[in-house]
Copies of this chain bind each other. A is one copy, B any other.
Amino acid sequence: MNAPLPNTQQGMRRRNLSLVMHAVAGHGPLSRAGVAGRIGLTRAAVSSLVDELIRGGLLVELGREQSGAVGRPGSALSLSCRGPVGIGAEIGVDHLAVCAVDLHGKVRARASAQADHRGRPAEPVLKELAELIRQVTEAARAEGLRPAGIAVAVPGLVARDTQTVVRAPNLGWEDIDLGDSLPYGVQLSVDNEANLGALAELWIGGDPAPQDFVHVSAEIGIGAAVVVEGRLLRGTHGYAGELGHVPVRPEGPACACGGRGCLEQYAGEEAVLRAAGLTATGRGVDLLAARAADGDRTVRRALSTAGAALGIALAGTVNLLDPQAVILGGALSRLAPWLLPSLERELTRRTAEPARPTLTVSRLGSEGPLLGAAHSVVRAVLDDPSSYAA
């Protein structure tokens, strides 16, 4: 959660402030005594920490708890709904979206715009995004909220710990530094949309949210984000999660990556459209979902084949990682009804019973990356509250 703080008393203090924030965030309104019991400190110590957090505008006191239990009731503490907000932004191939999420995880403001960004240069797109961010920031400020940071989800590869988009094939971007074009007074972070979608699943996906899962999405190619012990696995070079190029049939059709029979050759958008005998004008997913819903047999068969291929690739993944859950997110969640039967059949056949994960469809759907971006800022506040005190 927050390892790299120095092992000094100040570092300890900061970690403890973070523990209090996480306790209150994760377990509803809580009294000082409740927090103390949960994080293993004394009431006196927690009182001091809470005072500091209240002064910093991060916690608020709601008033007496009425629990009905014997003894003096505690004073309920809650995250401030007037404190910092995380600004999340998403650059999609056909839209822009921005939202503001408060410490409770509630969306407090949002704005979006439709436009086809395929092949458009980055500059005007980023100018438009900056305008949306300005609007949302204004709206948030009008409600007494303080933007604590901006996180941007992009459909492409982002160099680790930078603000640079190395390559976004669907946008046609290469080496674009978003820090140059979005120069705000707050922290700016940039990450891949599939990663942020998976993190959204981790943070706000379910109840209880799984801590070890594989999140499959298909926006650009087929990506799988792997979360282990509540941490996103990014890979040495940041390329982890390339499920699309896992071999399904070693002698299958040649793939652009140089291999043969990669998953993308069976379950990629292009391959599925071809198998369905369709050519997409706009978003292929929309077309496939519409036709499948209409009962088109060829389309349904194509989706079933894709689901089987996904199941084979995921069977390998599950055997290797033994995750708690497999979650279909992003565009796949819309096609889930027709993918799932064959997917589940293959997955079940090829995995041993005790290690079989639950197979679910994301509740967040296409909202995942945007919410994940905003929440990543909120998490940063919870992880180191002293840096974000008023």
Report which A residues bind B (CB closer than 8 A). Answer: 3, 6-9, 11-12, 15-16, 19, 39-41, 212, 224, 226, 228, 233-250, 257-260, 262, 312-313, 315-317, 319-324, 346, 349-352, 354-355, 357
Given contacts A240-B321, A320-B320, 14 further A-B contacts (CB under 8 A): A3-B3, A7-B12, A226-B320, A235-B322, A237-B354, A237-B355, A238-B322, A241-B322, A242-B322, A244-B319, A247-B248, A247-B350, A259-B351, A262-B350
What separation, in Å, do the CA atoms of A357 and B246 have in the docked complex?
15
CB neighbours of A243 from chain B (8 A): 319-320
Q: Are B7 and A15 in contact (CB under 8 A)?
A: yes
B250 pairs with A249, CB closer than 8 A: yes
Q: In the complex, what distance in Å separates the CA atom of A132 from the CA atom of B372?
A: 55
| Pair A352/B245 contact, Cβ less than 8 Å | yes
Judge whether A316 and B319 touch: CB under 8 Å. Answer: no
Say how far A199's CB is from chain B's closest CB, in angstroms: 16
Q: Which of B248, B349, B357 contacts A259 (CB 8 A)?
A: B349
Q: How far is the CB of A68 from chain B (nearest CB, A)?
A: 31
CB <8 Å contact, B248 and A250: yes
CB distance from A244 to the nearest CB of B (A): 8
* B9/A9 in contact, CB under 8 A: yes
Chain B residues whose CB sits within 8 angstroms of the CB of A3 once the complex forms: 3
A360 vs chain B, min Cβ distance (A): 15
- Assess A315 versus B355: contact at CB under 8 Å? Given A7-B12, A224-B320, A233-B321: no
Residue of B nearest to A6 (CB): B40
Q: How far is the CA of A233 from the CA of B7 in the complex (A)?
A: 26
Shortest distance from the beta carbon of A262 to any chain B beta carbon, whole Å: 8
User: Contact partner of A321 among B12, B235, B324, B346, CB < 8 A?
Assistant: B235
A250 to chain B: which residues have CB within 8 Å?
248-249, 312, 346
- Shortest 7 CB-CB contacts between residues of A and residues of B: A235-B322, A259-B350, A246-B316, A239-B355, A240-B322, A242-B319, A239-B322
Are B322 and A320 interface neighbours, CB within 8 A? no
Q: Is A324 within 8 A of B247, CB to CB?
A: no
**Distance to closest chain B CB from A231 (angstroms):** 8
Whether A239 touches B8, Cβ cut-off 8 Å, given contacts A250-B249, A259-B315, is no
User: What is the CA–CA distance of A132 and B241 in the complex, to the nearest angstrom?
Assistant: 46
**22 interchain pairs, CB-CB under 8 A:** A7-B12, A7-B41, A8-B41, A212-B235, A224-B320, A236-B324, A236-B357, A237-B354, A237-B355, A239-B322, A242-B320, A242-B355, A244-B319, A245-B351, A247-B315, A247-B316, A257-B352, A258-B352, A259-B315, A260-B349, A313-B316, A316-B316
